[in-house]
Amino acid sequence: MAAEESTGGQTEYIQHHLQHLQWHVGDSKFMTINVDSVFFLLLMCALFVGFFLYVSRRATSGVPGKLQCALEMVVTGIDGLVRETFHGQSKFIAPLAVTIFCLVFLMNFMDMVPVDLLPGAWHTVGPALGFKDYLRVVPTADLNTTLGMALGVFFLIHYFGIKHKGLGLFVKEAFTAPFHADKLWMAILLAPANLLLRLIEELVRPVSLSLRLFGNMYAGELIFILIAVMTLGSSLDALSTYAMMPVQFISGFIWTAFHVLVITLQAFIFMMLTVVYLSMAAEKH
């Protein structure tokens, strides 16, 4: 009986932490907005813009301060990567890459906040204001967020392709690459296969971009929750709770140190793949 209560308490705890604070548009549930993901996304956007404005307005041409130095290292590093990767001419790519990296990193970094800190605060405030007692603080652990960003990159790829090649060449490449043919009848014969491969390639890009980021951040969030249930007070006796505390602390410390690399790497991968896709779209085959 005690084991069943322990398992039930842990399961309820995990399920509660994986529920979004949602708003249903209209009477039906056909359109549902994850309010917590939208709120923390906008909060990270405001933090990103505010931080850059704060540093830029206090920037000096002499010896830079610590914040200015750190920001310049990030901007110049990303600018160098863009110059090596994107071979076209565009003043838009480097600022876009900086924005993507910083914004995705900030959203990922919300996973470093103690798992019960903000949901616990919302447990006191939310129901008192008439909202449900659910709150998830990592926007990139929500597939809607990552898929939305990936679709934005998807449309941007096609915009760059048409802008740099023209509509005619852009459409022509869809029927003539990757299989090329010198004779007209062979080109017509290969056109359906080229178009099919092009459609698969274009559809895979937003799917892979969104699922890669979502999968890593969802798994990271879930591991933090599983570490938290090690000492769930309602499911363990006092002796077991105190015995598990060192294990929980060591596990949390190790995973936190490793997860810092994960959230940084995932932001870097999302940024670099965006730049690579835009570079491929701008190149003429």
List active site positions. 208, 212, 216
Cis, peptide link before residue 119, omega less than 30° from 0? no
* CA 180 vs CA 51, 78, 249, 283: distances in Å: 50, 35, 59, 16
- As a 3-state breakdown, the chain gives helix, strand, coil percent values, each rounded to 5, of 75, 0, 20
Nearest to 213 by CA among 276, 140, 153: 140
196-214 residues labelled b (16+ CB within 10 A) or e (exposed): eebeeeeeebbeebbebbb
Amino acid at 174: A
Contact 98, 81 (CB under 8 A): no
Residues 6+ apart with CB under 8 A from 109: 263
Helices (H) and strands (E) in the chain, counts: 9, 2
Q: How far apart are CA 274 and CA 277, in angstroms?
A: 5
Q: Can you read off the two tokens belonging to residue 187? A: 């080109």
Nearest to 179 by CA among 171, 169, 189: 189
Q: How far apart are CA 147 and CA 21, in angstroms?
A: 19
Q: Which residue has the tokens 């890669």?
A: 212
